[in-house]
């Protein structure tokens, strides 16, 4: 448990109060719940069940919850802290006090229950390295629970991570790949008519290349999440990687009146030791993200800068992200494009940080647009 009630109450917050109950109060609340008849029933439930107090601290967990938490003593912590949410470490007050927490379902569901009503919310937790560095998608249900003088919240969490993965794959294979195959079929019909063969054949090749890239990217992402993706480090031309990535967008750009401009540095090309295939996929995700945010007549600008430590590849588009999107942009299942989408920026960061040993950042300001930047070190062993 982080500090005493008095010191925690003084901690800065960007959302909910940082105040906590003392360890003695939490222990008393835990004993009161253990003495209640409902405790034996909840203990053996095959899902994560917790009870929190009115300061959102865990006072009790069932067996399944204890197995899911990799902290020896999670009593007194808040749910995000116990599950390893990276945002629970951003503010001194912990879980529920960062700006991101305003868009997380768990604090909202707890507060709704404290107000006297049951609630159900979806929650996507970005887990830290200590807890496996994955994304945990939960469906959280809360209900008010009064024990004597204490106002508690019963929290039940169902892991939806696998279902979310299936939704994304369905979207990719039924939507993206289906649309690409449909486009290939339409262009083949035009080729049969014998007019403008050269242009249509080039588009068919681009569409086929995109189809193969999409399938290979999903296979690589799955392997990356499972920790079994192999990488092949070699000397790479950054210019060649970006040009190859742009070439894959000949078909996606067709008819959209959107262009991609490659702004080459005056110093010329740069070479780094990295995996060219994984780096290309990162750049493709950067461009795909920019394309989805762009409208007719707009230009996407891509370029890079090199220094002694490595290179920074950037992709800019004119749109500005909302505050919620800026908070959630790297979540696995979050997307402004609807349910079952949202792998581009997630995959971009996963491949960059875990396999290319680099970093991803962005800025998005009204009137200035949005720029994503990927920094890749000169070699995997060198700091970026």
pLDDT digits (tens, 9 = 90+) for 82-106: 999 999 999 999 999 999 999 999 9
Contact 126, 149 (CB under 8 A): no
Residue-averaged pLDDT of the chain: 86
| Domain housing 329 | 163-377
Q: At residue 146, does pLDDT exceed 70?
A: yes
Among 5-19, 250-264, 366-380, name the one with the lowest average pLDDT.
Answer: 5-19
Residues 346-358 pLDDT 10s: 889 989 999 999 9
Q: What percent of the chain has pLDDT over 90?
A: 59
Q: Are residues 275 and 346 in the same domain?
A: yes
Q: Quickly state the pLDDT bin for 1 (edges 50, 70, 90).
A: very low
Mean per-residue pLDDT, 181-205: 68
CB-based contacts of 357, cutoff 8 Å, min separation 6: 376, 377, 380, 384
pLDDT at position 148, please? 87
Residue 372 has a CB neighbour count (10 Å cut-off) of 26
Helices (H) and strands (E) in the chain, counts: 14, 12
Assigned token pair, 292: 């989805």
Confidence of residue 8 (pLDDT cuts 50, 70, 90): very low
Q: What is the structure's pLDDT at 84?
A: 92
- pLDDT for 83: 92
Q: Within a 10 A sphere around the Cβ of 263, how many other Cβ atoms?
A: 11
Look at the block and give the residue holding tokens 């906590």.
20
High-pLDDT (> 70) share of the chain, %: 85
Q: How many CB atoms lie within 10 A of CB 149?
A: 8
Give, rounded to a whole angstrom, the gap between the first and last alpha carbons of the chain.
35
Q: What is the pLDDT of residue 194?
A: 62
Say whether both 110 and 191 belong to one domain. no
Q: Do residues 311 and 263 both lie within one domain?
A: yes
For residue 147, what is the domain's CATH number?
3.30.450.20
- Mean pLDDT across 262-268: 95
Q: What's the confidence (pLDDT) of residue 5? A: 42
Same domain, 47 and 175: no
Q: In this predicted model, which residue has the larger pLDDT, 152 or 192?
A: 152
Residues 52 and 11 in one domain: yes
Query: What's the pLDDT score for residue 337?
Result: 60
Residues 298 and 363 in one domain: yes
> Do 123 and 170 fall into the same domain?
no
Q: CB–CB of 316/369 below 8 Å? A: yes
- 142 with 225, same domain: the answer is no
Q: pLDDT at residue 3 above 50? A: no
Highest mean pLDDT among 108-117, 166-175, 220-229: 108-117
Q: State residue 105's pLDDT score.
A: 93
Q: Which residues pair with 376 in a beta bridge?
A: 311
Last residue of a domain, which of 159, 177, 195? 159
**Structural domains of the chain, count:** 2
- According to the model, what pLDDT value does residue 276 have? 93
d(C-alpha 29, C-alpha 19), whole Å:
16
Quote the pLDDT of residue 88. 94
User: In terms of domains, do 346 and 205 share one?
Assistant: yes
Better-scored residue on pLDDT, 160 or 369: 369
Q: From the CA atom positions of the chain, what is the Rg in Å?
A: 24
Confidence of residue 195 (pLDDT cuts 50, 70, 90): low
Co-location of 79 and 167 in the same domain: no
Examine the fold and report which residue of 134, 159, 184 is the final residue of a domain before the chain moves on. Answer: 159
**Final residue in a domain of this structure, among 159, 178, 195:** 159
In the predicted structure, residue 36 carries a pLDDT above the cut 60: yes
Q: Are 72 and 217 part of one and the same domain?
A: no
**CATH number for position 315:** 3.30.565.10
Q: Given the DSSP bridges, would you call strands 259-263 and 299-306 parallel, antiparallel or unpaired?
A: parallel
pLDDT at 164: 74
Helix residue ranges per DSSP H, 160-196: 161-171, 177-193
pLDDT greater at residue 320 or residue 341: 320
Q: State the average pLDDT over residues 159-172.
A: 72
* Residue 384 within any structural domain of the chain: no
Name the pLDDT band for 144 (thresholds 50, 70, 90). Answer: very high
User: What pLDDT score does 127 carry?
Assistant: 86
Q: How far apart are CA 351 and CA 225, in angstroms?
A: 9
Whether 375 shows a pLDDT value over 60: the answer reads yes
Q: Same domain for 73 and 204?
A: no
């Amino acid at each position: 448990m982080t500090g005493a009630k008095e010191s925690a109450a003084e901690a800065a917050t960007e959302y909910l109060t940082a105040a906590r109950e003392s360890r003695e109060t939490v222990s008393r609340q835990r004993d009161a719940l253990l003495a209640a008849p409902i405790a034996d029933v909840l203990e053996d439930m095959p899902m994560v069940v917790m009870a929190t107090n009115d300061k959102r601290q865990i006072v009790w967990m069932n067996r399944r919850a204890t197995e899911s938490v990799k902290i020896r003593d999670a009593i007194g912590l808040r749910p995000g802290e116990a599950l390893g949410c990276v945002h629970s470490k951003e503010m001194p007050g912990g879980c529920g006090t960062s700006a991101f927490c305003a868009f997380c379902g768990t604090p909202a569901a707890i507060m709704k229950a404290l107000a006297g009503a049951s609630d159900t919310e979806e929650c996507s937790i970005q887990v830290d390295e200590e807890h496996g560095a994955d994304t945990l998608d939960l469906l959280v249900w809360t209900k008010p629970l009064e024990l004597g003088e204490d106002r508690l919240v019963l929290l039940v969490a169902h892991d939806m991570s696998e279902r979310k993965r299936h939704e994304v794959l369905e979207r990719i294979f039924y939507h993206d790949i289906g649309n690409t195959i449909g486009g290939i079929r339409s262009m083949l019909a035009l080729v049969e008519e014998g007019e403008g063969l050269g242009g249509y054949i080039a588009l068919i090749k681009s569409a086929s290349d995109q189809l193969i890239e999409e399938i290979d990217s999903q296979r690589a992402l799955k392997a990356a999440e499972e920790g079994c993706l192999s990488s092949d480090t070699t000397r790479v031309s950054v210019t060649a990687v970006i040009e190859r990535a742009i070439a894959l967008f000949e078909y996606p750009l067709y008819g959209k009146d959107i262009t991609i401009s490659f702004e080459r540095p005056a110093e010329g090309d740069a070479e780094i030791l990295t995996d060219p295939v994984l780096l290309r996929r990162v750049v493709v995700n950067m461009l795909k993200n920019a394309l989805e945010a762009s409208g007719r007549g707009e230009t996407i600008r891509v370029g890079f800068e090199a220094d002694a430590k490595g290179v920074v590849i950037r992709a800019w588009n004119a749109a500005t992200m909302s505050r919620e999107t800026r908070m959630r942009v790297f979540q696995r299942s979050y997307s402004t494009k609807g349910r079952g989408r949202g792998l581009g920026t997630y995959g971009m960061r996963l491949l960059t940080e875990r396999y290319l040993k680099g970093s991803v950042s962005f800025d998005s300001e009204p009137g200035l647009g949005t720029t994503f930047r990927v920094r890749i070190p000169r070699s995997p062993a060198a700091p970026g």
